Amino acid sequence: TKSRSLDIEGIVLIDEIETHLHVELQKSILPLLTSFFPNIQFIVTTHSPFVLSSLSNTVIYDLEKRFVTTDLSSYSYDALIESYFDSDKYSKELKDKIKIFEKLADRDNLSDNEKDEYYKLKKYFDTVPTFMSDELAVKLNEIKLRNMFKAL
């Protein structure tokens, strides 16, 4: 019967389970599979923080770092991306622009070219959608305020 097929026991291996799945499905694929097949042990590989944190009753093996942990469900996706996957939530281009903007804002006696570059970057950052990142908004406002106070 149909209910018996859900009671089967076994081990299922799935490589990169997140491949071709929308983010919302990445968040729910493991909970769905484990609820439909409670007697199956799923061994999956993933590069998705959404899959990694989707269940609390897990054992996670990091093959690269040779590290074992359990339950990453309480971590934010950003925290997993930055620490577990050794990646950054901001692009290299954005980080480089922030670094230059901060350097120019902190310097005294800018040349005309440096002033132009500072104002170009200021104009650029005024168009960056910071509503998605409070941390980025705070950083950019801090740089702008330091430059304003320096001028006083």
Residue 126 and residue 123: Cα distance in Å, rounded?
Answer: 5
Domain count, the chain: 2
Domain finish residue from 36, 63, 84:
84
Mark whether 57 and 99 lie in a shared domain.
no
Domain finish residue from 84, 110, 135:
84
Mark whether 8 and 58 lie in a shared domain.
yes
Nearest to 49 by CA among 11, 89, 5: 89
CB-CB contact of 11 with 41 (8 Å): yes
Provide φ and ψ at 13, rounded to 5°.
-105, 130
- pTM, rounded to two decimals: 0.57
> Lowest-pLDDT range, 17-21, 71-75, 102-106?
71-75
Provide the domain limits for residue 140.
92-151
Give me 113's structure tokens: 């070219």
pLDDT (0 to 100) of residue 86: 65
> Lowest-pLDDT range, 20-24, 32-36, 142-146?
142-146
pLDDT (0 to 100) of residue 23: 92
